[in-house]
């Protein structure tokens, strides 16, 4: 390659690397100009925890830099820039924190030379946290959310391998166009469809009948499927101080609607009801839902059943057909925690406009 072109290219690359390195939020080690730049945004979770000898409980202990030091070979794949966003167990995550995380990820991906981001996150609320990012990120660059089921004190921690796979996926041409994924134990799941299905096993994230997007082994990504159509709802700028209050309330044998009434009395902006079967609730809950709807509060009906969509089948009081006819919105096959986040962000875009909100849940 003629020297002048090489000089120009080196100048451009070093300028953009300097721009990335100078960014206030990312810290890089020694940059290899021959390698791409990837961001790792650490939020906490088991992947960054160790067992506290005093209590025997897993507690936050590792920074983002500690995480990458535990992954042999990572530095041969990419230049890793670390952003320590938080260090909390994901049982403590909130929609407000995810909104801030979405902004931080977008700021990092706005840098031209950053090819994508890994977000390390606890697994307890990872499925809905990844969905929130998929829903709200302005960037189309790949984002891989990963974590671990065994902490760094375990004889065989799964975090390092998951981190290596996440960076491998970001860099793989066969992994493009998947948006935000949840990738653990080699399997790649779409943020919209993934669920945590086992409390302690490393193979906990699956997407059931929707299937995996792909599988990673030996540094290669096998592509099985494309992602489904994306719902794209960027957050307003500047971020509001709080997101709309949308409680999640279960209907169960003998439930009497009191929790629905309490939520309405205490100012809920919307409600998501976790029904049974194909989206049915008891008559008492149905009466309380009707009262909420009459007050103009949007109500979305999901189900505790892990797979399949909510359908307007049953015509008894509280059946899916009566809920739809009363003005409730059916969540389709979106899980209840994700339906809650979609309604929350949807309210920020459409207010309580029924048609606008219903359209969000229609595919």
Catalytic positions: 46
Out of 38, 117, 149, 343, the residue judged to bind ligand ASP by CB under 6 A: 149
- Shortest distance (Å) from residue 44 CB to ligand ASP: 6
3-state DSSP assignment of residue 82: strand
Question: Which lies closer to ligand ASP via its Cβ, residue 37 or residue 149?
Answer: 149
Q: Render 271-318 in DSSP notation, one character per residue.
A: EEEEEBTTTB--HHHHHHHHHHHHTT--EEEEESSSSS-------STT
> 22 CB contacts (<8 Å, ≥6 apart)?
none
Question: Which lies closer to ligand ASP via its Cβ, residue 154 or residue 245?
Answer: 154
Question: Which lies closer to ligand ASP via its Cβ, residue 88 or residue 287?
Answer: 88
- Shortest distance (Å) from residue 84 CB to ligand ASP: 15
Please identify, among the stretches 25-33, 94-102, 143-151, 171-179, the one whose residues bind ligand ASP according to the rule CB under 6 A.
Answer: 143-151
- Shortest distance (Å) from residue 319 CB to ligand ASP: 36
Question: Which lies closer to ligand ASP via its Cβ, residue 187 or residue 286?
Answer: 187
Q: Render 126-151 in DSSP notation, one character per residue.
A: HHHHHHHHHHH----S-EEEE--SS-
Does 147 help bind ligand ASP (rule: CB under 6 A)?
yes
Write out the two tokens for 101: 């995380």
- Shortest distance (Å) from residue 244 CB to ligand ASP: 24
DSSP bridge partners of 220: 217
Out of 91, 153, 203, 242, the residue judged to bind ligand ASP by CB under 6 A: 91
Q: Edge-to-edge, what's the strand order for the sheet holding 329-330? A: 248-250, 271-275, 299-303, 329-330
Write out the two tokens for 80: 């890793």
Question: Which lies closer to ligand ASP via its Cβ, residue 90 or residue 303?
Answer: 90
| 75 vs 71: CA distance, rounded Å | 9
Out of 23, 26, 41, 45, the residue judged to bind ligand ASP by CB under 6 A: 45
Does 86 help bind ligand ASP (rule: CB under 6 A)?
no
Write out the two tokens for 1: 């390659």
- Shortest distance (Å) from residue 245 CB to ligand ASP: 23
Does 284 help bind ligand ASP (rule: CB under 6 A)?
no
Does 275 help bind ligand ASP (rule: CB under 6 A)?
no
Q: Per CB under 6 A, which of residues 110..139 are in contact with ligand ASP?
A: 122-124
Residue among 161, 193, 179, 134 at smallest CA distance from 71: 161
> 134 CB contacts (<8 Å, ≥6 apart)?
143, 179, 180, 191, 192, 230
Interface ranges with ligand ASP (CB under 6 A): 45-46, 89-91, 122-124, 147-149
């Amino acid at each position: 390659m003629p020297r002048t072109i090489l000089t120009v290219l080196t100048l451009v690359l070093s300028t953009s690397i300097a721009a990335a390195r100078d960014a206030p939020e990312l810290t890089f080690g020694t940059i290899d100009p021959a390698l791409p730049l990837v961001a790792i945004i650490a939020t906490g979770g088991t992947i960054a925890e160790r067992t506290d000898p005093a209590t025997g409980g897993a507690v936050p202990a590792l920074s983002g830099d500690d995480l990458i030091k535990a992954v042999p070979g990572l530095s041969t794949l990419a230049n890793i820039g670390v952003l320590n966003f938080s260090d909390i167990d994901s049982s403590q995550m909130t929609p407000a924190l995810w909104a801030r995380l979405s902004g931080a990820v977008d700021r990092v991906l706005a840098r031209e030379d950053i090819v994508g981001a890994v977000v390390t996150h606890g697994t307890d609320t990872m499925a809905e946290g990844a969905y929130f990012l998929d829903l709200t990120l302005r960037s189309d660059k790949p984002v891989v959310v990963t974590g671990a089921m065994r902490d760094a004190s375990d004889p065989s921690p799964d975090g390092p391998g998951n981190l290596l796979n996440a960076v491998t996926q970001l860099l793989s041409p066969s992994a493009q166009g998947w948006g935000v994924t949840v990738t653990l134990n080699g399997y790649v799941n779409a943020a919209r469809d993934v669920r945590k299905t086992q409390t302690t096993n490393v193979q906990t994230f699956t997407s059931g009948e929707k299937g995996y997007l792909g599988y990673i082994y030996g540094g290669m990504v096998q592509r099985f499927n494309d992602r489904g159509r994306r719902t794209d709802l960027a957050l307003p700028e500047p971020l509001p101080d709080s997101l709309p209050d949308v409680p999640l309330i279960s209907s169960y044998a003998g439930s009497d609607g009191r929790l629905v009434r309490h939520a309405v009395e205490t100012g809920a902006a919307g409600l998501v009801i976790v029904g049974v079967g194909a989206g049915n609730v008891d008559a008492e809950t149905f009466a309380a839902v009707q009262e909420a709807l009459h007050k103009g509060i949007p109500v979305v009906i999901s189900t505790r059943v892990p797979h399949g969509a909510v359908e307007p089948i049953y015509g008894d009081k509280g059946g899916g057909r009566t809920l739809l006819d009363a003005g409730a919105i059916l969540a389709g096959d979106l899980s209840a925690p994700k339906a809650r986040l979609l309604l929350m962000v949807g309210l920020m875009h459409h207010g309580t406009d029924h048609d606008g909100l219903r359209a969000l849940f229609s595919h």
